[in-house]
Amino acid sequence: MKALVYHGPGQKDWESVPDPRVIDSTDVIVQVDTTTICGTDLHILLGDVPAVEPGRILGHEAVGTVVEVGDAVSTLAVGDRVLVPAITSCGSCVYCRRQMPSHCQGVGGIGWVFGHLIDGTQAEYVRVPFGQTSLHRVPEGVTDEQLIFLADIFPTGFEMGVQYGGVKPGDVVAIVGVGPVGLAAVQTASLHGASKIIAVGRTWPRIKSALDLGATHGISTQDPDWLDQVMGLTDGLGVDVVIEAVGVPQTLEDAFRIVRPGGHVANAGVHGKSFTLPINDLWIQNITFTTGLVNGTTVPALLELLKAGKINPEAMGTHYFTLDEMLLAYDVFEHSGTHNCLKTVIRKA
């Protein structure tokens, strides 16, 4: 088959590799009908994730069709259409039993293994360990384009942002950072009853996208008075829940500046540097700060919402490719600003 193979920092190719096959009796082999590229893949190509070894097939998101199942798989059959989520879950370790497969011990302590510790989904086929407890059979009547962002980006914004942030009906929510994760938080904050949804970004095209996707207010941190603008929307108290969706010290600092006493800061960004936490100011502020890798435990709920027409994840897909245009898709996504690209959708021809 063909797959996108990582060959060390800055090196990748769309090339022929052996087809995957069932190794463990809990494995499922899935034909990839649709996949996408994640910002994390770009980090890997920059050499930021040393655990990824040369020769690894990248990608951790797919919609596909079951083509082979191991002997232990009883609830999935060849031909089933499935969502391959970013997180693999053994279903029986202490973390999976706590509904936190992000740290599944059955796959080594981090549930994110595709395109990281084992071969991933940017390929014609993918081997899915613990398929029965990891895959989601998808309902009829929904398209791959609607489903693909439920593999990672949508639940990341919802779980790490909205859910970990503890958004409650009536809350004022600010999302700092309007890339894909931030936009997924914008799109899902209403599921917890947010009143105002303030998109805080730098440049207006992206802030505008956030307004199109459900933000009630957009504010640019390039405005010298942006902080006053936020406070003006919250009776001067600060926002109830701030979702950090960038991953640099500045945006995290901004988050702590605009949260109200008793509020939440939910980190959804991937950080490469430590952060100077003003605990001398915060100790008395009754703040809850959360971090985390997506669990994907909300996917069944998101599928229900998708069936009912209550969410529109497909709005994140702006650029479409076929699998054999994989390198072109990477090129566009690496220059997403130039192309005004939010997320790519890469389909079997």
User: Which residue has tokens 């893949």?
Assistant: 41
Structure token digits, residue 17: 């590799």
Q: Binding of a second copy at residue 91 (CB under 8 A)?
A: yes
For residue 168, give Cα distances in angstroms to 5, 65, 171, 250, 331.
43, 37, 6, 26, 40
Q: Binding of a second copy at residue 293 (CB under 8 A)?
A: yes
Structure token digits, residue 136: 């989601």
Q: Binding of a second copy at residue 71 (CB under 8 A)?
A: yes
Q: Which range binds a second copy by CB under 8 A, 8-16, 54-62, 193-201, 218-226? A: 193-201
Q: Binding of a second copy at residue 103 (CB under 8 A)?
A: yes
Q: Which range binds a second copy by CB under 8 A, 60-68, 294-302, 317-325, 334-342? A: 294-302
**DSSP annotation of 149:** G
Residue 168 or residue 257: which is nearer to a second copy going by CB? 168
Residue 17 or residue 118: which is nearer to a second copy going by CB? 118
Q: Binding of a second copy at residue 97 (CB under 8 A)?
A: yes
Q: Determine which residue in the list 25, 143, 322, 340 makes contact with a second copy, applying CB under 8 A.
A: 25
For residue 122, give Cα distances in angstroms to 56, 274, 329.
11, 32, 11
Q: Binding of a second copy at residue 98 (CB under 8 A)?
A: yes
Contacts of 184 (CB under 8 A, 6+ apart): 149, 153, 154, 155, 156, 157, 158, 161, 313, 316
Q: Binding of a second copy at residue 117 (CB under 8 A)?
A: no
H-helix or E-strand spanning residue 249? helix 249-258
**Binding residues for a second copy restricted to 171-190, rule: CB under 8 A:** 171-172, 190
Q: Binding of a second copy at residue 43 (CB under 8 A)?
A: no
**DSSP annotation of 8:** S
Residue 183 or residue 215: which is nearer to a second copy going by CB? 215
Residues 120-139 as x/- pattern, contact with a second copy by CB under 8 A = ------------xx------
Residue 267 or residue 344: which is nearer to a second copy going by CB? 267
Residue 67 phi, psi dihedral angles, 5° rounding: -120, -15
Q: CA-CA distance, 314 to 210, in Å (whole number)? A: 14
Burial of 98 (0-12, 13-18, 19+ CB in 10 A): exposed
Q: Which of 311, 348, 347 is nearest to 157 (CA)?
A: 311
Cβ 123 to a second copy shortest distance, Å: 25
Q: Binding of a second copy at residue 168 (CB under 8 A)?
A: yes
Contact in structure between 100 and 107 (CB atoms under 8 Å): no
Residues 245-284 as x/- pattern, contact with a second copy by CB under 8 A = --x----x--------xx----x-xxxxxxxxxxxx-xxx
Cβ 227 to a second copy shortest distance, Å: 18
**DSSP annotation of 165:** T
**Binding residues for a second copy restricted to 46-65, rule: CB under 8 A:** none
